[in-house]
Amino acid sequence: MAASVATAAPVFGKVYLVGAGPGAADLITLRGARILALADVVLHDALSGADMLALCPQARLIPVGKRSGQRSTAQVDINERLVECARQYQHVVRLKGGDPMLFGRADEELRMLESHGIAYEIVPGITAALAAAAAAHQPLTKRGVARSVSLFTSSTGADEPHDVSMPNGDTLVQYMGGREAAATALRLLEAGHAADTPVVVVENCSRSDQRILRLPLAALEQGLTSCLGPVLVMIGEALRRRENGLAGDGEEAHPASMTAQAR
Protein backbone atom coordinates (compact mmCIF):
# COMPACT_ATOMS: atom_id res chain seq x y z
CA MET A 1 0.00 0.00 0.00
CA ALA A 2 1.50 3.31 -1.09
CA ALA A 3 2.25 5.76 1.69
CA SER A 4 0.29 9.00 1.56
CA VAL A 5 2.25 12.16 0.87
CA ALA A 6 1.40 15.18 3.00
CA THR A 7 0.72 18.34 1.03
CA ALA A 8 2.47 21.37 2.46
CA ALA A 9 0.25 24.32 3.21
CA PRO A 10 0.95 27.35 1.00
CA VAL A 11 3.31 29.87 2.50
CA PHE A 12 2.17 33.49 2.24
CA GLY A 13 3.86 36.78 2.81
CA LYS A 14 2.26 39.62 4.72
CA VAL A 15 -0.03 42.21 3.16
CA TYR A 16 -0.03 45.84 4.30
CA LEU A 17 -3.00 48.09 3.53
CA VAL A 18 -1.33 51.48 3.62
CA GLY A 19 -3.09 54.83 3.55
CA ALA A 20 -1.22 57.14 1.18
CA GLY A 21 -2.97 60.24 2.43
CA PRO A 22 -4.70 62.85 0.25
CA GLY A 23 -2.07 63.09 -2.46
CA ALA A 24 1.07 64.97 -1.43
CA ALA A 25 3.91 62.51 -0.82
CA ASP A 26 5.00 64.20 2.40
CA LEU A 27 1.56 63.67 3.94
CA ILE A 28 1.96 59.91 4.16
CA THR A 29 2.68 58.73 7.71
CA LEU A 30 6.18 57.78 8.83
CA ARG A 31 5.01 54.20 9.29
CA GLY A 32 3.53 54.13 5.80
CA ALA A 33 6.76 55.44 4.26
CA ARG A 34 8.83 52.93 6.23
CA ILE A 35 6.71 50.02 5.01
CA LEU A 36 6.90 51.26 1.41
CA ALA A 37 10.69 51.26 1.71
CA LEU A 38 10.55 47.55 2.64
CA ALA A 39 7.96 46.49 0.07
CA ASP A 40 8.67 43.80 -2.52
CA VAL A 41 5.58 44.70 -4.54
CA VAL A 42 3.13 47.63 -4.38
CA LEU A 43 -0.39 47.53 -5.78
CA HIS A 44 -1.28 51.20 -6.03
CA ASP A 45 -4.25 53.41 -6.83
CA ALA A 46 -4.48 55.70 -9.84
CA LEU A 47 -3.93 58.72 -7.58
CA SER A 48 -0.49 57.55 -6.43
CA GLY A 49 1.90 60.02 -8.05
CA ALA A 50 5.51 59.53 -9.08
CA ASP A 51 6.78 61.29 -5.96
CA MET A 52 4.84 58.88 -3.75
CA LEU A 53 6.05 55.82 -5.67
CA ALA A 54 9.61 57.12 -5.43
CA LEU A 55 9.44 56.03 -1.78
CA CYS A 56 9.61 52.39 -2.93
CA PRO A 57 12.18 52.26 -5.79
CA GLN A 58 13.03 48.64 -4.97
CA ALA A 59 9.47 47.38 -5.38
CA ARG A 60 7.59 45.97 -8.33
CA LEU A 61 4.76 48.39 -9.09
CA ILE A 62 1.32 47.17 -10.13
CA PRO A 63 -1.28 49.85 -11.00
CA VAL A 64 -4.78 48.79 -9.90
CA GLY A 65 -6.47 52.16 -9.80
CA LYS A 66 -10.19 52.81 -10.15
CA ARG A 67 -11.32 56.17 -11.54
CA SER A 68 -14.93 57.20 -12.00
CA GLY A 69 -16.06 57.01 -15.61
CA GLN A 70 -12.77 55.52 -16.82
CA ARG A 71 -11.55 52.03 -17.65
CA SER A 72 -10.19 50.60 -14.41
CA THR A 73 -9.32 47.43 -12.53
CA ALA A 74 -12.29 45.51 -11.13
CA GLN A 75 -12.24 45.00 -7.37
CA VAL A 76 -12.52 41.22 -7.70
CA ASP A 77 -9.34 41.25 -9.80
CA ILE A 78 -7.54 43.35 -7.18
CA ASN A 79 -8.54 40.89 -4.49
CA GLU A 80 -7.12 37.99 -6.50
CA ARG A 81 -3.90 39.88 -7.27
CA LEU A 82 -3.35 40.44 -3.56
CA VAL A 83 -3.47 36.70 -2.93
CA GLU A 84 -1.21 35.96 -5.91
CA CYS A 85 1.34 38.51 -4.72
CA ALA A 86 1.23 37.17 -1.16
CA ARG A 87 2.21 33.76 -2.59
CA GLN A 88 5.23 35.27 -4.36
CA TYR A 89 6.48 38.04 -2.07
CA GLN A 90 7.23 38.51 1.61
CA HIS A 91 6.10 42.16 1.86
CA VAL A 92 3.06 43.13 -0.19
CA VAL A 93 1.69 46.67 -0.01
CA ARG A 94 -1.77 47.70 -1.12
CA LEU A 95 -1.35 51.49 -1.34
CA LYS A 96 -4.66 53.33 -1.08
CA GLY A 97 -5.37 57.04 -1.37
CA GLY A 98 -6.51 58.70 1.86
CA ASP A 99 -7.28 56.17 4.59
CA PRO A 100 -7.77 52.48 3.72
CA MET A 101 -10.83 52.14 5.95
CA LEU A 102 -12.89 54.94 4.40
CA PHE A 103 -14.45 54.46 0.94
CA GLY A 104 -11.51 52.23 0.05
CA ARG A 105 -13.21 48.84 -0.49
CA ALA A 106 -11.07 47.54 2.38
CA ASP A 107 -13.76 45.15 3.63
CA GLU A 108 -13.66 43.15 0.40
CA GLU A 109 -9.88 42.91 0.41
CA LEU A 110 -9.75 41.94 4.08
CA ARG A 111 -12.34 39.22 3.56
CA MET A 112 -10.25 37.80 0.73
CA LEU A 113 -7.07 37.82 2.79
CA GLU A 114 -8.80 36.27 5.81
CA SER A 115 -10.34 33.51 3.69
CA HIS A 116 -6.83 32.46 2.64
CA GLY A 117 -5.29 32.85 6.09
CA ILE A 118 -3.00 35.66 4.94
CA ALA A 119 -1.57 37.94 7.64
CA TYR A 120 -2.14 41.63 7.17
CA GLU A 121 -1.62 45.00 8.80
CA ILE A 122 -3.53 48.23 8.27
CA VAL A 123 -1.68 51.54 8.30
CA PRO A 124 -4.05 54.53 8.54
CA GLY A 125 -3.65 57.64 6.41
CA ILE A 126 -4.89 61.22 6.38
CA THR A 127 -8.31 61.19 4.78
CA ALA A 128 -9.22 63.83 2.18
CA ALA A 129 -11.82 65.55 4.38
CA LEU A 130 -9.22 66.57 6.94
CA ALA A 131 -6.68 67.59 4.32
CA ALA A 132 -9.28 69.64 2.45
CA ALA A 133 -10.35 71.44 5.62
CA ALA A 134 -6.72 72.28 6.32
CA ALA A 135 -6.15 73.47 2.75
CA ALA A 136 -9.17 75.78 2.90
CA HIS A 137 -8.35 76.98 6.44
CA GLN A 138 -11.87 75.95 7.51
CA PRO A 139 -12.46 73.69 10.54
CA LEU A 140 -15.25 71.18 10.00
CA THR A 141 -16.54 71.77 13.53
CA LYS A 142 -17.18 75.07 15.27
CA ARG A 143 -18.31 75.82 18.79
CA GLY A 144 -22.00 76.71 18.84
CA VAL A 145 -22.38 76.06 15.10
CA ALA A 146 -21.29 72.54 14.15
CA ARG A 147 -20.65 69.63 16.48
CA SER A 148 -21.08 66.76 14.03
CA VAL A 149 -19.57 65.85 10.67
CA SER A 150 -20.95 63.36 8.15
CA LEU A 151 -18.69 61.82 5.53
CA PHE A 152 -20.59 60.30 2.62
CA THR A 153 -20.50 59.39 -1.04
CA SER A 154 -23.32 59.02 -3.56
CA SER A 155 -21.18 56.87 -5.86
CA THR A 156 -22.35 53.27 -6.07
CA GLY A 157 -21.25 50.14 -7.90
CA ALA A 158 -22.86 48.97 -11.13
CA ASP A 159 -24.80 46.29 -9.25
CA GLU A 160 -26.00 48.61 -6.47
CA PRO A 161 -29.10 50.84 -6.39
CA HIS A 162 -28.31 54.54 -6.62
CA ASP A 163 -28.39 56.09 -3.15
CA VAL A 164 -30.46 59.29 -3.03
CA SER A 165 -30.55 59.60 0.76
CA MET A 166 -28.75 62.41 2.55
CA PRO A 167 -26.88 61.95 5.83
CA ASN A 168 -27.45 63.93 8.99
CA GLY A 169 -24.72 66.19 10.27
CA ASP A 170 -23.96 69.85 10.87
CA THR A 171 -21.17 69.68 8.30
CA LEU A 172 -21.48 67.41 5.27
CA VAL A 173 -18.47 66.18 3.33
CA GLN A 174 -19.13 64.44 0.04
CA TYR A 175 -16.36 62.26 -1.35
CA MET A 176 -16.18 61.74 -5.12
CA GLY A 177 -18.68 64.55 -5.34
CA GLY A 178 -17.91 66.13 -8.69
CA ARG A 179 -20.57 64.39 -10.75
CA GLU A 180 -23.09 64.25 -7.90
CA ALA A 181 -22.72 67.82 -6.61
CA ALA A 182 -25.74 69.24 -8.44
CA ALA A 183 -28.05 66.46 -7.26
CA THR A 184 -26.76 66.83 -3.69
CA ALA A 185 -27.43 70.58 -3.71
CA LEU A 186 -30.95 70.06 -5.08
CA ARG A 187 -31.81 67.53 -2.36
CA LEU A 188 -30.49 69.81 0.38
CA LEU A 189 -32.38 72.83 -0.94
CA GLU A 190 -35.57 70.77 -1.19
CA ALA A 191 -34.99 69.64 2.42
CA GLY A 192 -34.98 73.27 3.56
CA HIS A 193 -31.30 74.19 3.68
CA ALA A 194 -30.68 77.89 3.09
CA ALA A 195 -29.65 78.90 -0.41
CA ASP A 196 -26.63 80.78 0.96
CA THR A 197 -25.29 77.82 2.96
CA PRO A 198 -21.50 77.92 2.47
CA VAL A 199 -19.91 75.33 0.20
CA VAL A 200 -16.18 74.73 -0.21
CA VAL A 201 -15.05 72.55 -3.11
CA VAL A 202 -11.49 71.20 -3.12
CA GLU A 203 -10.14 69.64 -6.31
CA ASN A 204 -6.86 67.66 -6.36
CA CYS A 205 -6.47 68.14 -2.62
CA SER A 206 -2.89 68.72 -1.39
CA ARG A 207 -1.40 68.41 -4.88
CA SER A 208 0.45 71.07 -6.87
CA ASP A 209 -2.66 71.61 -9.03
CA GLN A 210 -5.02 71.97 -6.06
CA ARG A 211 -8.01 74.27 -6.60
CA ILE A 212 -10.41 75.61 -3.98
CA LEU A 213 -13.79 77.08 -4.88
CA ARG A 214 -16.20 78.79 -2.50
CA LEU A 215 -19.83 79.21 -3.46
CA PRO A 216 -23.31 79.19 -1.96
CA LEU A 217 -25.42 76.04 -2.00
CA ALA A 218 -27.77 77.52 -4.63
CA ALA A 219 -24.85 77.86 -7.06
CA LEU A 220 -23.74 74.27 -6.44
CA GLU A 221 -27.03 73.17 -8.01
CA GLN A 222 -25.56 74.26 -11.35
CA GLY A 223 -22.90 71.55 -11.08
CA LEU A 224 -19.11 71.54 -11.13
CA THR A 225 -18.37 71.22 -14.84
CA SER A 226 -15.02 73.02 -14.51
CA CYS A 227 -13.61 70.39 -12.13
CA LEU A 228 -11.73 67.56 -13.82
CA GLY A 229 -9.72 66.02 -10.97
CA PRO A 230 -10.86 64.26 -7.78
CA VAL A 231 -13.32 66.52 -5.96
CA LEU A 232 -14.36 66.82 -2.33
CA VAL A 233 -17.44 68.95 -1.51
CA MET A 234 -17.85 70.38 2.00
CA ILE A 235 -21.17 71.96 3.01
CA GLY A 236 -22.29 73.71 6.19
CA GLU A 237 -22.27 76.87 8.31
CA ALA A 238 -18.92 75.97 9.86
CA LEU A 239 -17.43 76.68 6.42
CA ARG A 240 -18.58 80.29 6.32
CA ARG A 241 -15.51 82.41 5.78
CA ARG A 242 -14.11 84.27 8.77
CA GLU A 243 -14.07 88.04 8.48
CA ASN A 244 -10.27 88.20 8.20
CA GLY A 245 -9.75 84.66 6.91
CA LEU A 246 -6.88 84.00 4.53
CA ALA A 247 -7.39 82.28 1.19
CA GLY A 248 -6.19 78.70 0.89
CA ASP A 249 -3.52 77.60 -1.58
CA GLY A 250 -5.04 77.42 -5.06
CA GLU A 251 -8.19 79.27 -4.03
CA GLU A 252 -10.12 80.92 -6.84
CA ALA A 253 -12.88 83.49 -6.75
CA HIS A 254 -16.11 81.85 -7.88
CA PRO A 255 -18.60 84.17 -9.70
CA ALA A 256 -21.51 82.87 -7.66
CA SER A 257 -19.60 83.48 -4.45
CA MET A 258 -18.81 87.05 -5.44
CA THR A 259 -22.46 87.63 -6.32
CA ALA A 260 -23.59 86.30 -2.97
CA GLN A 261 -21.14 88.55 -1.14
CA ALA A 262 -22.31 91.58 -3.10
CA ARG A 263 -25.85 90.96 -1.93
107 and 201 together in one domain? no
Q: What is the pLDDT of residues 87-132, one digit of tens each?
A: 999 999 999 999 999 999 999 999 999 999 999 999 999 999 999 9
93 and 158 together in one domain? no
pLDDT band at 251 (very low <50, low <70, confident <90, very high): confident
Q: What is the pLDDT of residues 158-188, one digit of tens each?
A: 555 556 678 999 999 999 988 899 999 999 9
d(CA 16, CA 90): 11
- Final residue of a domain: which of 105, 123, 141? 123
At residue 4, does pLDDT exceed 80? no
Looking at the DSSP bridge assignments, the partners of residue 8 are none
* pLDDT at position 71: 57
Is 156 a member of any domain?
yes
Give me the domain span that covers residue 59.
14-123
135 and 258 together in one domain? yes
**Number of domains within the chain:** 2
* Burial letters 137-162, b for 16+ CB under 10 A, else e: bbebebeeebeebbbbebbeeeeeee
d(CA 203, CA 140): 17
* pLDDT at position 258: 32
pLDDT band at 228 (very low <50, low <70, confident <90, very high): confident
118 and 132 together in one domain? no
* pLDDT at position 65: 83
At residue 140, does pLDDT exceed 60? yes
pLDDT band at 245 (very low <50, low <70, confident <90, very high): confident
pLDDT band at 227 (very low <50, low <70, confident <90, very high): confident
Distances (CA, A) of 122 to 46, 51, 138, 217, 232: 20, 22, 29, 37, 24
pLDDT band at 250 (very low <50, low <70, confident <90, very high): confident
Distances (CA, A) of 43 to 20, 48, 107: 12, 10, 17
More confident residue, 101 or 4: 101
**Active site amino acids:** 45, 66, 176
177 and 160 together in one domain? yes
* pLDDT at position 20: 97
